[in-house]
Amino acid sequence: EPEVTQTPSHQVTQMGQEVILRCVPISNHLYFYWYRQILGQKVEFLVSFYNNEISEKSEIFDDQFSVERPDGSNFTLKIRSTKLEDSAMYFCASSNIGLAGGPYTQYFGPGTRLTVL
Amino acid sequence: TQLLEQSPQFLSIQEGENLTVYCNSSSVFSSLQWYRQEPGEGPVLLVTVVTGGEVKKLKRLTFQFGDARKDSSLHITAAQPGDTGLYLCAGEGSGSRLTFGEGTQLTVNP
């Protein structure tokens, strides 16, 4: 069964450094997402991406964040200058287009645990 | 801002018992997706409900979407220790973003 994959599984970085989290969405999906989950808190939406551009972003997704689909398979989240409060699990998700008003059922990857020291 | 309230937050029951988890909001959602999440892993999709009043069954799990598409429930019949885990509801709002509830941590004791 197709699945979303993410690398690395765990990333440790120093405050102020740049990190790139990588995701390979399910191959025939057209919508891509990033969510984060701070330890002990609920999963929060960061950004959605469709047709090579951001379709929606949350208030969390400020100028230090950016997303890119550099080729036909990868989807990346870049955090430019990491802060201590960026420590969290970051989940990539993908969905097929909601045809005829149907749902955008999202499938999640296993996550990248980001630790900022 | 759309919010989803899940209850109960924690539930500990004996094997063989039935249980219901609730997911409530004042907002209307296009769909309601239920996930199960294990520690340190990503949410795994259980079901998507779309139509108001819709009921879907997945073996011993029954999912219902409220008529007004503002609330949903998950009912587990004859719970087993393998059902232990964190259950999450997530509402699809405008633009396809998911709003997650806080989750229900279920423990089924043998």
Distance from CA of B7 to the nearest CA of A (A): 14
Which residues, 6 or more positions from B109, have their beta carbon under 8 angstroms from its beta carbon? B12, B13, B14, B15, B81
How do strand A112-116 and strand A10-13 relate by DSSP bridges? parallel
A103, B43 contact by CB (below 8 A): no
Which residue in chain B has the smallest CA separation from A4? B42
How do strand A88-95 and strand A106-108 relate by DSSP bridges? antiparallel
Token match 């090579």: residue? A52
Distance from CA of A103 to the nearest CA of B (A): 6
pLDDT at A28: 86
Regions of chain B short of the pLDDT cut 50: none
Summarize the confidence of residues A25-36 as an average pLDDT: 93
Residue A44 and residue B95: Cβ atoms within 8 Å?
no
Q: Residues of A with CB below 8 A from B90's CB?
A: 43, 106
Q: Residues of B with CB below 8 A from A102's CB?
A: 50
Q: Is A46 buried (19+), middle (13-18) or exposed (0-12) by CB count in 10 A?
A: buried
Residue A2 to residue A25: CA distance in whole angstroms: 9
Strand partners, B24: B5, B71
Summarised one tens digit per residue, pLDDT across range A61-112 is 999 999 999 887 899 999 999 999 999 999 999 998 766 666 678 999 999 9
Residue B101 to residue B48: CA distance in whole angstroms: 15
How many other CB atoms are found less than 10 A from the CB of residue A90?
22
Q: What DSSP character marks residue A6?
A: E
pLDDT at B1: 72
Distance from CA of B94 to the nearest CA of A (A): 9
Q: Residues of B with CB below 8 A from A55's CB?
A: 95-96
Summarize the confidence of residues A14-40 as an average pLDDT: 95
Summarised one tens digit per residue, pLDDT across range A33-47 is 999 999 989 999 999
Distance from CA of B96 to the nearest CA of A (A): 6
Would you call B47 helix, strand, or coil by DSSP?
A: strand
Question: Smallest Cβ distance to A43: which of B43, B50, B92?
Answer: B43
Which residue in chain A has the smallest CA separation from B95? A56
Residue A58 pLDDT greater than 90, yes or no: yes
Q: Residues of B with CB below 8 A from A110's CB?
A: 41-42
Token match 């199960």: residue? B36
